[in-house]
Homo-oligomer: A and B are copies of this chain.
Amino acid sequence: METDVDVAVVGGGIIGLGIAWEAIRRGHTVTVIDPDPAAGATHAAAGMIAPASELHYREEHLLRLTLDSAARYPEFLASLTWTGIDPGFRRTGTIVLGFDGADRQALADLQAVQARNSLVVEQVSLREARRSEPMIGPAATAAFRAPEDHQVDPRKLAAALLAAVTSRGTLVRAAATGVERDGSHVTGVRLADGSVLRAGSTTIANGLAAAGLAGLPCRLPLRPVYGDILRLRVPEALQPLLTHTVRGLVRGHPVYMVPRTDGTVVLGATMREDGSNAVSAGGVYQLLRDAQQLIPAVSELELVEVLCRARPGTPDNAPLLGQVEGCDRLLIATGFFRHGVLLTPTAAAVCVDLLEGKPGPPGLERYTPNRFEEG
């Protein structure tokens, strides 16, 4: 079959760009299709590489992927050094704070789960927490430390990936409308102008928009989980405000602050399923309120950006990752919900392994894209 390219990737967010770059560096010709690359959830994401403190109940199964991906990050980033764009990788550990009794209980319960999974999360005294982070507020009553959490700046990482992909592959700034099929074979991608890009294999990695593509062999049950997120600048007199990521449960409300090397802090993030993709006044209020409990000096910071993006959620909030039975030359990689940045290197490795005919990692069937189909 004649093709235009070995690999077509629909979607130029962090996941699509990561897959494209992985395919390129393994020698494939690659085209990424996105009308506005890195402008969706990637643009909002805080970029915590934090398998430990991002662990949620009933998501333990994801640890195999998240720990694998965190371990892959240094090499993945090293492969991009030649672009000259620093992706902002920092070995910032996390300090987790609790406030009322229910916060303390929830965090202690979570710590037990973390310990059972061999994650390094230790309870520390508030005195010790304040030795690392003197700005912690007076209302905190419990503290945990997750020293192995790190961070990347998703905007910078996306910029590096975009530079790499456009330099050694092709970016088509257009919307995809669907996949082309010849029986059980996917043969390429149809673009909004009606043209078709013929590809040896096609990967669907355009987040929520994947659900709207024509020609897929199964329904992709994605739903938007909106998040409001703020960027604050620390005035010079207060720098550095933080040297760790500081997060917590503030009377039941989760909130995090991720300090960047450029003197800004990312403050996030709400979880809204109210159907509004506009920044929520109530959401911004809650974030500022709760962040001031973590770090009262938040009130002294400059508010430099307020935005909202949608995370691609699924019925079990686990990704849709892998092949769909009975349909070949097609890979799905979406539904990464809160974990898109963290899971990028592993999603990239899994997808490129599969399109090369190699086996996926053990347990991948848990994420089969058509697992919610009946019968």
Binds B, one of A8-16, A33-41, A277-285: A277-285
A181 CB within 8 Å of chain B:
no
- For chain A, residues 1 to 32, give those with C-beta under 8 angstroms from any C-beta of chain B: none
The answer to whether B285 touches A301, judged by C-beta atoms less than 8 angstroms apart, is no
- Docked CA distance A292–B282 (Å): 9
CB of A58 to closest CB in B, whole Å: 29
A303 CB within 8 Å of chain B:
yes
CB of A254 to closest CB in B, whole Å: 18
The answer to whether B278 touches A302, judged by C-beta atoms less than 8 angstroms apart, is yes
The answer to whether B279 touches A303, judged by C-beta atoms less than 8 angstroms apart, is yes
CB of A216 to closest CB in B, whole Å: 32
The answer to whether A279 touches B299, judged by C-beta atoms less than 8 angstroms apart, is no
A321 CB within 8 Å of chain B:
no
A184 CB within 8 Å of chain B:
no
The answer to whether B298 touches A282, judged by C-beta atoms less than 8 angstroms apart, is yes
Give 9 closest A-B pairs by Cβ, nearest first: A282-B299, A278-B302, A285-B288, A279-B303, A281-B301, A281-B303, A284-B303, A232-B281, A281-B298
CB of A264 to closest CB in B, whole Å: 12
A81 CB within 8 Å of chain B:
no
- Docked CA distance A304–B280 (Å): 9
CB of A99 to closest CB in B, whole Å: 17
- Docked CA distance A280–B301 (Å): 6
Copies in the complex: 2
The answer to whether B306 touches A281, judged by C-beta atoms less than 8 angstroms apart, is no
Tell me the count of chain A residues lying within 8 A, CB to CB, of chain B: 23
Q: A301 to chain B: which residues have CB within 8 Å? A: 280-282
The answer to whether A285 touches B285, judged by C-beta atoms less than 8 angstroms apart, is yes
Closest to A287 in B: B285
CB of A282 to closest CB in B, whole Å: 3
Contact digits for A57-91, partner B, Cβ 8 Å, 1 yes 0 no: 00000000000000000000000000000000000
- Docked CA distance A280–B280 (Å): 18
Q: A233 to chain B: which residues have CB within 8 Å? A: 278
A300 CB within 8 Å of chain B:
yes
Closest to A274 in B: B300
Other than the known A279-B303, A281-B301, A285-B289, what 6 A-B pairs have Cβ atoms closer than 8 Å?
A278-B303, A280-B302, A281-B299, A282-B301, A303-B306, A306-B306
